[in-house]
């Protein structure tokens, strides 16, 4: 795995800044991992960890470049580095999910010769089926765990999941799992408060909730 500052050259980033970017990476990666794991993108199955790291690193690089422009007065100054980096990561995640959702990994019913590049290692269709079963099981377990969280943590987490979800005509795995627990995930889709103090409280609650979920649900 690349380090948190691997995407930043020594000319771009001083040693004094490295700890700040490492801390930002460590804070952002768990959020991105949850988005990716529950994104329901077939082509991502089995490689969620690598994709999460790629999205996080790209978000840090874009944030760093924006911060340089802000220092030169070319763009608006940054009120919160965490908030900016999370927004950039969320937008990059959504763009990538939209592009890659149309990619279909082979299943038991699909001829392998038509779907696999012979220059790559063969993909085992039975492993894909297992991946799907494991994904479904983890999502169901996560939904059952989240409903037991303290109210404020639960609301922060559900709001984040809803705001990053791509709701379609038919509910996805995550939406179905929460529906079975009596929660309509769509009801939590709403813009965050513009008041900085409230946004900071939401970010803190969200960080605690994700850490708690990761601890209770092995991802």
Residues 171, 96, single domain; the answer is no
pLDDT attached to residue 135: 57
Contact between 100 and 41 (Cβ < 8 Å) = yes
Does residue 145 share a domain with residue 85?
no
Give the total number of structural domains in the chain: 2
- Which of the listed residues 35, 70, 105 is the one where a domain comes to its end? 105
Q: Are residues 92 and 136 in the same domain?
A: no
Of the listed ranges 12-26, 46-60, 65-79, 98-112, the one predicted with least confidence: 98-112
The verdict on 18 and 94 lying in the same domain is: yes
Q: Is residue 111 part of a domain?
A: no
Q: What percent of the chain has pLDDT over 70?
A: 75
- Same domain, residue pair 205 and 164: yes
For the stretch 190-218, pLDDT in tens is: 888 888 888 888 888 888 888 888 777 75
Helices (H), 109-150: 112-115, 125-146
Q: Within 10 Å of residue 122's Cβ, how many Cβ atoms? A: 10
Same domain, 134 and 218: yes
- Specify whether 100 is located in the same domain as 171: no
Q: How confident is the model at residue 102 (pLDDT cuts 50, 70, 90)?
A: low
What DSSP state is assigned to residue 11?
A: T
Whether 57 contacts 8, CB under 8 Å: no
- 80 in the same domain as 127: no
Q: Is 50 exceeded by the pLDDT of residue 181?
A: yes
| 181 and 100 fall within a common domain | no
Domain endpoint, select from 79, 105, 131: 105
> Domain residues for 205?
123-219
Residue 110 has a pLDDT of 38
How far apart CA 199 and CA 122 sit, in angstroms, is: 46
Q: Is residue 8 part of a domain?
A: no
Which comes out higher in pLDDT, residue 94 or 214?
A: 94
Q: Is 26 a domain residue?
A: yes
In a domain, 7, yes or no: no
Whether 147 is covered by a domain: the verdict is: yes
Place of tokens 């007065």: 73
Both 96 and 36 in one domain: the answer is yes
Q: Give the mean pLDDT of 5-20.
A: 54
* Domain-embedded: residue 64: yes
Is the per-residue pLDDT at 184 higher than 90? yes
- Asked, for residue 86, whether it belongs to a domain, the answer is yes
Is residue 118 situated within a structural domain? Answer: no
Q: Do both 101 and 130 map to the same domain?
A: no
* Low-confidence winner among 48-57, 87-96, 113-122 (lowest mean pLDDT): 113-122
């Amino acid at each position: 795995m690349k380090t948190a500052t691997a995407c930043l050259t020594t000319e771009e980033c001083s040693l004094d800044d490295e700890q700040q970017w490492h801390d930002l990476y460590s804070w952002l990666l768990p959020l991105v991992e949850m988005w990716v794991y529950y994104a329901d993108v077939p082509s991502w199955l089995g490689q969620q960890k690598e994709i999460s790291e790629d999205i996080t690193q790209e978000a840090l690089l874009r944030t760093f470049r924006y911060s340089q422009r802000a220092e030169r007065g070319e763009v608006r100054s940054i009120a919160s580095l965490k908030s900016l980096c999370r927004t950039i990561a969320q937008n990059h995640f959504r763009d990538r999910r939209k592009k890659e959702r149309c990619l279909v990994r082979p299943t038991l019913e699909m001829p392998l010769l038509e779907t696999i590049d012979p220059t790559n290692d063969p993909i085992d269709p039975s492993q894909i089926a297992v991946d799907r079963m494991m994904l479904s099981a983890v999502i169901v377990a996560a939904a059952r765990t989240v409903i037991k969280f303290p109210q404020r943590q639960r609301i922060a987490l559900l709001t984040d999941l809803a705001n990053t979800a791509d709701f379609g005509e038919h509910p996805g795995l995550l939406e179905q799992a929460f529906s079975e627990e009596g929660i309509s995930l769509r009801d939590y889709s709403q813009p965050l408060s513009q008041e900085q103090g409230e946004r900071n409280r939401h970010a803190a609650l969200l960080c605690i909730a994700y850490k708690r979920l990761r601890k209770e649900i092995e991802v």
